[in-house]
Amino acid sequence: MPVIALIGAQWGDEGKGHLVDLLAGKARLVARYSGGNNAGHTVVNHLGTFKLHLIPSGIFDPAIVNVIGPGVVVNPEVLLNEIRDLQARGVSTAKLFVSERAHVIMPYHIMLDQLQEEARGEGRIGTTGRGIGPAFADKMSRTGIRMADLLHEETLLHRLRVVLEEKNRLLTRIYNAKPLSLHDTYLRYLEYGRRLAEHISDVHPIINRAIEKDLPVLLEGAQGALLDVDHGTYPYVTSSPPGAAGACQGAGIGPTRLNAVVGVLKAYTTRVGEGPFPTEVHGAEADELRQIGTPWAEVGTTTGRLRRVGWFDAVLARYAAQINGIDTIAITKLDVLDNLPTIKICVGYRLNETHLEYPPATVAVLERCEPIYEELPGWRVSTRDARHFQDLPEAAQAYVARICQLVGARLGLVSVGPSREQVIQVVDLF
Ligand code: IMP
């Protein structure tokens, strides 16, 4: 049985939640492996509409084990609220396990994320302000607090005392903000630990057992390959690795165990936050892609921000596929293009007189790249009722086929609307 990583192959918001929800039903274990509550997806199923930020999408089936892996940074308050909301609506969280190795987002992370962003002024990244970057920075500088620490009074007090002294100096002296009380913070996080104790565990044996028993495992990506801290449009990136290597690292699964990497690509491109976006469009073209007022509207699940929109960028998608070993692609929101007379795909960049096939590393250079477009005919009929690939109009089939050819991966799934039935499965992934 395969272990599948389903990852975003653009700048996040590719509609992963929608596909994960479908695939999760076939998995026996679903794990989140990177990011934190900067992610967010909306799941619509027979129980209603749910917004999940931390809890994996397998949660709606009581038989599925759901894991928040060591590579995730966890805001305990957000997690407790999510658990409470799910339970209140009849969803069992008995099989939810949070790695004791996962790092905790502390109040100073959230404060610093917002204060640092403010201080960046014109150079702001457009972070979600959830404390993600500072939490990952502390993890790397080995001053983080982990979920296991919330269960040990002495360890928590000791670590917090050391860390808070430094953070309070930073908050008060550099940012003129109020210091945090050691006493209050300690008691608050100890209480979170107490309330989450039944979920905090060593997830390695749980994941390993599933793999040894050959059960289907789904690694649920958050954000997207172009927000990767190593390979993305740095510094306009997130602070963890959202791709396939990150899936192995953040869940604790060896790369040789991964059987497939599914890259999710929107049929066009969107981005929230700042940073270069070569195929971005504005005005009426953007309004068409944004679909405001529909269940597909391009508004962020976590922040409510309007997403920037543009044409499909095959240069970036191919790069994401190569970096992550994407062998299968899932194309989402094809129906958003239904009314367009012609559709553009960016097949290369022009920089001065040079033709580029790969994105340059430096933002200032990427911003000077002009997209080279290929124009394909639109189909101008609704694709929303298509249930098989052959049901799609010929021009839509040709558009999808061209994307696969440019990206260099086979087609796995196509979605033509927000419901489960509107996902066309071209290959059976589990
Ligand atoms: P951070 O992850 O909050 O530090 O934000 C860094 C950048 O990543 C910003 O441009 C965010 O808008 C973007 N970002 C973070 N999480 C997501 C996501 O789930 N979807 C889309 N963009 C995201």
What CATH topology corresponds to 3-90+203-425? Answer: Adenylosuccinate Synthetase; Chain A, domain 3 (3.90.170)
| Closest of 393, 407, 401, 395 to residue 426, by C-alpha | 401
The terminus-to-terminus CA distance of the chain in angstroms comes to 7
Cα of 243 to ligand 1 centre, how many Å? 14
Taking CA atoms only, the protein residue closest to ligand 1 atom 22 is: 12
With tokens 């934190």, the residue in question is: 36
Angle between helix 314-324 and helix 394-407 axes, rounded to 10 deg = 50
Please give the pLDDT value at position 301.
Answer: 73
Does the global pTM surpass 0.75?
Answer: yes
Best residue among 125, 227, 236, 270 to mutate for probing ligand 1, ranked by most atoms within 8 Å of CB = 227
d(CA 291, CA 332): 14
d(CA 232, CA 366): 12
Taking CA atoms only, the protein residue closest to ligand 1 atom 16 is: 38
103-196 in CATH: which number? Answer: 1.10.300.10
Atom of ligand 1 at shortest range from CA of 127: 5
Domains in the chain: boundaries: 3-90+203-425, 103-196
Please give the pLDDT value at position 296.
Answer: 81
Best residue among 223, 229, 269, 298 to mutate for probing ligand 1, ranked by most atoms within 8 Å of CB = 223
Beta bridge partners of 309: 270
| Closest of 272, 279, 281 to residue 227, by C-alpha | 272
Angle made by CA atoms 329, 334, 337, in degrees to the nearest 5: 140
User: What would the pLDDT profile of 379-410 be if each residue is shown by its tens digit?
Assistant: 999 999 999 999 999 999 999 999 999 999 99
Taking CA atoms only, the protein residue closest to ligand 1 atom 19 is: 39
User: What are the residue numbers of the active site?
Assistant: 13, 41
**Secondary element (H or E) of residue 245:** helix 244-251
Q: Output the CA–CA distances (angstroms, integers) from residue 248 to 2, 6, 221, in the order listed.
A: 14, 12, 11
| Closest of 91, 6, 94 to residue 47, by C-alpha | 91
Atom of ligand 1 at shortest range from CA of 40: 19
Cα of 99 to ligand 1 centre, how many Å? 23
Which residues of the chain carry a pLDDT beneath 50?
A: none
Q: What are phi and psi of 192, to 5 degrees?
A: -60, -45
Cα of 128 to ligand 1 centre, how many Å? 6
Calculate what percentage of the chain has a pLDDT beyond 90: 88
Please give the pLDDT value at position 59.
Answer: 93
Work out the number of other CB atoms within 10 angstroms of the CB of residue 161: 11
Taking CA atoms only, the protein residue closest to ligand 1 atom 2 is: 238
103-196 and 3-90+203-425 share a CATH fold: no
Cα of 37 to ligand 1 centre, how many Å? 10
**Coil, strand or helix: which one is 326?**
coil
Angle made by CA atoms 33, 120, 162, in degrees to the nearest 5: 60
d(CA 29, CA 305): 32
The DSSP code for 226 is G
**Which residues are CB-neighbours of 298 under 8 A, at least 6 positions away?**
13, 270, 289, 290, 291, 292, 306, 307, 309
d(CA 352, CA 163): 49
CA-only gyration radius of the chain, Å: 22
d(CA 216, CA 213): 9
Taking CA atoms only, the protein residue closest to ligand 1 atom 5 is: 127
Cα of 303 to ligand 1 centre, how many Å? 10
Buried-exposed string 321-348: b where 16+ CB fall within 10 A, e elsewhere = bebbbbbbbbbbbbbbbbebeebbbbbb
Cβ-contact 65, 208 below 8 angstroms: no
Cα of 291 to ligand 1 centre, how many Å? 21
Per-residue tokens: 110:
């959230």
d(CA 70, CA 150): 15
Residue 114 burial (10 A CB sphere; 0-12, 13-18, 19+): middle
Strands 29-32 and 217-220, sheet pairing: parallel
Best residue among 238, 271, 307 to mutate for probing ligand 1, ranked by most atoms within 8 Å of CB = 238
Taking CA atoms only, the protein residue closest to ligand 1 atom 17 is: 223
Cβ-contact 242, 7 below 8 angstroms: yes
Residues flanking ligand 1, CB < 6 Å:
11-13, 38-39, 125-128, 130, 132-133, 222-223, 227, 236, 238-239, 272-273
